[in-house]
Structure 1
């Protein structure tokens, strides 16, 4: 528990805990457009270049799926149900646009149902290939070109090289500041608890980038001047399906272990590399989102790269154990858990596989499993 509050940290964490926030309201009043997106393959720089604000679509704050249930099969994951329930609930009515891509069949149903509503902000769907190769890259480039044109038409702007280049530099600044935060997690003592770190990263998908960068600079300065740090009893790496419920991360850290790093689409993976600034901006964006960012489970043939990325994080952050989580009904992450199991076993890295709902309902059971996992790590090293 942090003894002294840090204003910038409190502001960022607050923004991550809700769908709306004062910064979005201020941007809206100033005439800026707000665009909902899914991650990881929607180039947010194109939205920023149009003067709009990209925000991550999610079901944060949802307490049920009664409105959404008639739109989906029973096997649809909780993220999809809760997100669409909040859409139907009017929580996302402030959006001026929305861009969806085929992250998985479940998430794609958000687009299928939303675009058929009497009033819908959805103006673009990106079909992102699940395979690599030159043919797939050319197809992806065509999809992004279409997305760019639709954004121009939606917001009555011309997205030239100058605008795109400025947006790339803005987002790269965000990535560099985030990497500075992660660097503070590598030592014996860490600057942020895992819950704080992950909420700060979620805030990066919840605020205008300019405001977020300013708050990050303040946070980093405060952390560097603040004597308060934490020494984890057990250093954990978290990876898995989308989870923006603070109570979930607090539970993962409730039994003596602390998350020092993650491997998530809104977290470490989103800031590991910059978009090239010395190339044609459009081509740089296509290359970055199609082939340069860390591999994700939806991409065929990338299992070795994903495993290698995970093992590098384990080494760089001196991780004692890995927690791999999937949402109920998520086959994609079920297979990822299965494929990572022998990789971690071969390296002698303790791991815990969890299945949980989008809205945490089994905290007691989860805490019991975390406690057993942390104790097993301590026992194995004789501490």
Structure 2
């Protein structure tokens, strides 16, 4: 009997063939929902027994099909994402949730909806700033999403299911933060390359399986005798999304990347969603306040610029 891989080797295996698990689940009757942006509330999908699957650009895939829909000067990330969809590389999706996280993504998602036929497509509008009057609007957007997801799933989104989903996603956030604690020693116990593989793997499989993978990785990294060697510098990477091993390998040729503060790193896992009270309101506050993407404007008062 061949022993199944686990920990870092399993993360690398999933990273190398991300669609495999989603296709297995689809064959078992599960509905797979793609999403391109960390502003999409995954808790709602999990609560309805839908499987979220994060879409990414592909650095190894030349853009050809997207040329008929988007100009060459357009955002390369969105061009690549659309190109993969047009080539049928994500033909296992049953539905898709787009988000207005930036103008290029909004335009791409409108094109995507026209060119790719899914059984379900929802566009989630995200406020561009964080101030008191936007929470009600975003809560309304989440309630609209709830209604369309209920229609797609064929069931109501029960509060107890949503509370359980919030709990398990909060566990995942806590585990990712525990994982990043292992970069604090000098040298770090885990490399930036390994972290990219782990995070990308986690967002390609159901949350419970992702939590099991994270726990295995944390235990393995703590137990192994050696990790990355000390390099010339310790780097924090900040930006839109760093989720490709090839890019991380360039950086780690001379440095230890100890924090990937991007959508491909720790950014989607900051903080916790409150598990009690008005759960939709809690989700609205979490995704507006804790997802610290540069596309969202935050007005700081004098003396509060630390935020």
> Common fold, TM-score beyond 0.5?
yes
CA contact (8 A) 2:187 2:229 kept: yes
Matched, 1:298 2:276: no
Q: Which runs of 4+ in 1 moved over 6 A?
A: 303-307
Classify 1:62/1:153 alpha carbon distance in 2 versus 1 (closer, same or farther; 3 Å): farther
In structure 2, distance between residues paired with 1:270 and 1:38 = 12
CA contact (8 A) 1:16 1:200 kept: yes
Matched, 1:42 2:54: no
Structure 1 residue 61 displacement after superposition? 5.9
In structure 2, distance between residues paired with 1:298 and 1:189 = 33
Q: Which residue of 2 aligns with 1:244?
A: 243
Structure 1 residue 306 displacement after superposition? 12
Classify 1:298/1:54 alpha carbon distance in 2 versus 1 (closer, same or farther; 3 Å): same
Q: Which residue of 1 aligns with 2:12?
A: 13
User: Any unmatched runs of 5+ in structure 1?
Assistant: 1-5, 310-383
1:219-244 Cα distance to aligned partner (Å, 9 max, x none): 11212221113343221111112232
Q: Which residue of 1 aligns with 2:260?
A: 262
In structure 1, distance between residues paired with 2:260 and 2:13 = 20
Classify 1:69/1:272 alpha carbon distance in 2 versus 1 (closer, same or farther; 3 Å): same
Q: Which residue of 2 aligns with 1:188?
A: 186
Matched, 1:274 2:235: no
User: Any unmatched runs of 5+ in structure 2?
Assistant: none
TM-score, length-scaled by structure 1: 0.74
1:104-138 Cα distance to aligned partner (Å, 9 max, x none): 11111222112113623452101111022232111
1:227 partner SS: coil
CA contact (8 A) 1:62 1:85 kept: no
2:234 partner SS: strand
Structure 1 residue 276 displacement after superposition? 1.0
The 5 A counterparts of 1:170-209 are: 170-209=168-207
* Larger CA Rg, structure 1 vs 2: 1
The 5 A counterparts of 1:1-383 are: 7-21=6-20, 23-60=21-58, 62-117=60-115, 119-233=117-231, 234-255=233-254, 257-291=255-289, 293-301=290-298, 308=306
In structure 1, distance between residues paired with 2:244 and 2:61 = 12
TM-score, length-scaled by structure 2: 0.91
Identify the structure with bigger relative contact order (alpha carbons < 8 Å, sequence gap 6+).
2
2:114 partner SS: coil
CA contact (8 A) 2:85 2:116 kept: no
1:267-322 Cα distance to aligned partner (Å, 9 max, x none): 2222221111233322211111122x04221112358999846xxxxxxxxxxxxx
1:41-86 Cα distance to aligned partner (Å, 9 max, x none): 1101101111011111123365211110110133211111111111
In structure 1, distance between residues paired with 2:131 and 2:89 = 40
Structure 1 residue 13 displacement after superposition? 2.4
How many corresponding residue pairs?
301
Classify 1:12/1:42 alpha carbon distance in 2 versus 1 (closer, same or farther; 3 Å): same
In structure 2, distance between residues paired with 1:7 and 1:210 = 15
**For the aligned residues, what is the CA RMSD?**
2.2
In structure 2, distance between residues paired with 1:302 and 1:186 = 31
Classify 1:306/1:81 alpha carbon distance in 2 versus 1 (closer, same or farther; 3 Å): farther
In structure 2, distance between residues paired with 1:306 and 1:229 = 39
